[in-house]
C-alpha cells in the first residue's frame, strides 16, 4: 500500500502517519509538508526511524505534488492553515491559497494519481449565526442546550450534516466548504473518490497548540509549565463547550472509510466525540489540575470574539451507523495522552510552550 499525507508533519497528519506505520509495517508512507506550523519540524525527526518518507513541499505549488512522480492508493489531505481566525484581521491570501487553491491542487493530483482520498474538513463550515442561535442555559460550569429546539440539523445529539451552512462562517470555514464543493465536482465529473470528514476539535499528543488553534493542548501545556491562561468570551467563565476526538479514533474511522470508498466517496461525515466526550473549558481546567497537580492563574476576558461560538457538539450518527464507529477515548484519556507527550518530550517542547 502507498499512502500520501499532505500536511503530514502537522498534528493530525503525523499522528495518522505513525498509526498507519504501526499497522502496516511495509506500506510506503510519504508525508509532504511546508513546515509552516511551528513545531512541525519536531514531528519530522522521528519519521526516519519509522521509515516514513518526508518531502518538504507546498500544496500551493502543483509541481511539488507532481514531482513526487508516483501513484498512491490513498491520500489524506491534512494540510491547512487550520485557525478559524486566519485572515480575519487582514490579508487572507495564505489561508485561501492553502485551504482552497492548495486543496484543489491536491484533488487535481488525486484525479490523476490517487485511488482514494480523505479530505479533512471542519465543523467550522457551519454558519456562525446559526450556531449562535442554539438556545443555551448554564448547568454547573458549562453551557447546555435547552431541550426540544426546532432547528434543522440540531438535536440532543448535537450538530448533524444538514445544519445550516448558508451564512457567514469565517474565511477558514468558507475555504473548507468551497473545497468540499469542488471535491464533489471531482467525483461527479471525473470519478475521483474523495471522502469528506467535517471534524470538530481533534486533540491529542503531537499538537503545537496556540491560543487561536489547539487550545486544549495549550491548556495542558500551560498547566505543565506553570504559565497563565485566560478564559476568553462569554463572560470569561470558561463555560463554552466543545467535543473532542483523538487522532487514534479518527484513524479507526478512516480505515473503514477507505475500505468502503466505492460507496462513501462524495459523502460528508460529521466527526467528533459528541456529548459523551465533551467538556467546557472550566471542566477541562479541572482535568489539567488533576493530572499536573498544579493550578495556574486564569484571567477572565469577558468579551467574545465574533468568530467564536459558545457550544459545538458533533452528531456523528451518520458515521456511527455507516461504519459502526464510536470514539473510544474520553476527555480524561485525551488529557492524559497530551500530558504524557509533554512529560516525555519536555526539553524539546519547553521552547515552544514555556
Ligand X SMILES: NC(=O)c1ccc[n+]([C@@H]2O[C@H](COP(=O)([O-])OP(=O)(O)OC[C@H]3O[C@@H](n4cnc5c(N)ncnc54)[C@H](O)[C@@H]3O)[C@@H](O)[C@H]2O)c1
Q: How far apart are CA 37 and CA 312, in angstroms?
A: 25
Instruction: Give yes or no for a contact between 273 and 200, defined as CB atoms under 8 angstroms apart.
Output: yes
Choose which of 105, 122, 217, 257 interacts with ligand X (CB under 6 A). Answer: 122
Q: How many residues bind ligand X (CB under 6 A)?
A: 27
Least distance to ligand X from the beta carbon of 33, Å?
5
Q: Which stretch binds ligand X (CB under 6 A): 4-12, 65-73, 155-163, 184-192?
A: 4-12
**Cβ atoms of 135 and 146 closer than 8 Å:** yes
- Contact flag: residue 201 with ligand X (CB under 6 A): yes
Q: Judged by CB under 6 A, which of 28, 36, 230, 318 binds ligand X?
A: 36
- Residue window 38-77: x/- pattern of binding to ligand X, with contact defined by CB under 6 A: --x-----------------xxx-----------------
Under DSSP, the state recorded for 126 is S
- Under a CB-based contact definition with an 8 Å cutoff, are residues 182 and 174 in contact? no
Q: What is the DSSP letter of 318?
A: H
Residue nearest ligand X (C-beta atom)? 10
- Quick one: cell of 143? 453551557
Q: Which range in 33-41, 184-192, 256-264, 302-310 contacts ligand X by CB under 6 A?
A: 33-41
Type and span of the H or E element at 176: helix 171-190
Among candidate residues 1, 5, 24, the one with its CA nearest the CA of residue 15:
5
The one-character DSSP state at 213 is B
104 binds ligand X (CB under 6 A): no
Minimum separation from the CB atom of position 308 to ligand X (A)? 15
Interface residues toward ligand X, by CB under 6 A: 7, 9-13, 33-37, 40, 58-60, 78-82, 98, 102, 120, 122, 199, 201-202
Amino acid at each position: 500500500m502507498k499512502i500520501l499525507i499532505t500536511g503530514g508533519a502537522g498534528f493530525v497528519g503525523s499522528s495518522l502517519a505513525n498509526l498507519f506505520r504501526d499497522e502496516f509495517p511495509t506500506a510506503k508512507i510519504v508525508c509532504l509538508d511546508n513546515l509552516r506550523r511551528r513545531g512541525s519540524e519536531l514531528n519530522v525527526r522521528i519519521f526516519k526511524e519509522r521509515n516514513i518518507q518526508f518531502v518538504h513541499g507546498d500544496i500551493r505549488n502543483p509541481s511539488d505534488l507532481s514531482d513526487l512522480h508516483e501513484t498512491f492508493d490513498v491520500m489524506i489531505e491534512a494540510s491547512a492553515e487550520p485557525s478559524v481566525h486566519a485572515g480575519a484581521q487582514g490579508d487572507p491570501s495564505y489561508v485561501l491559497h492553502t485551504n482552497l487553491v492548495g486543496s484543489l491542487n491536491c484533488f487535481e493530483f488525486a484525479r490523476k494519481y490517487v485511488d482514494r482520498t480523505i479530505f479533512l474538513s471542519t465543523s467550522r463550515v457551519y454558519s456562525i449565526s446559526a450556531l449562535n442561535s442554539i438556545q443555551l442555559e448554564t448547568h454547573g460550569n458549562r453551557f447546555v442546550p435547552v431541550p426540544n429546539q426546532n432547528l434543522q440539523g440540531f438535536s440532543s445529539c448535537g450538530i448533524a450534516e444538514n445544519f445550516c451552512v448558508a451564512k457567514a462562517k469565517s474565511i477558514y470555514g468558507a475555504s473548507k466548504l468551497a473545497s468540499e464543493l469542488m471535491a464533489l465536482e471531482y467525483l461527479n465529473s471525473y470519478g475521483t473518490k474523495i471522502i469528506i470528514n467535517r471534524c470538530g476539535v481533534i486533540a491529542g499528543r503531537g499538537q503545537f497548540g496556540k491560543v487561536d488553534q489547539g487550545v486544549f493542548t495549550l491548556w495542558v501545556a500551560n498547566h505543565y509549565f506553570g504559565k497563565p491562561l485566560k478564559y476568553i468570551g462569554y463572560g470569561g467563565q470558561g463555560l463554552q463547550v466543545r467535543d473532542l476526538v483523538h487522532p487514534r479514533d479518527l484513524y479507526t474511522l478512516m480505515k473503514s472509510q477507505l475500505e468502503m470508498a466505492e460507496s462513501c466517496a462524495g459523502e460528508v461525515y460529521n466527526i467528533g466525540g459528541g456529548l459523551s466526550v465533551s467538556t467546557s473549558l472550566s471542566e477541562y481546567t479541572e482535568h489539567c489540575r488533576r493530572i499536573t497537580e498544579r493550578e495556574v492563574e486564569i484571567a477572565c476576558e469577558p468579551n467574545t470574539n465574533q468568530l467564536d461560538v459558545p457550544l459545538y457538539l458533533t452528531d456523528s450518527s451518520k458515521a456511527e451507523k455507516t461504519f459502526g464507529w464510536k470514539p473510544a477515548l474520553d476527555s480524561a484519556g485525551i488529557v492524559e495522552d497530551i500530558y504524557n507527550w509533554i512529560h516525555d518530550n519536555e526539553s524539546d517542547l519547553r521552547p515552544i510552550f514555556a
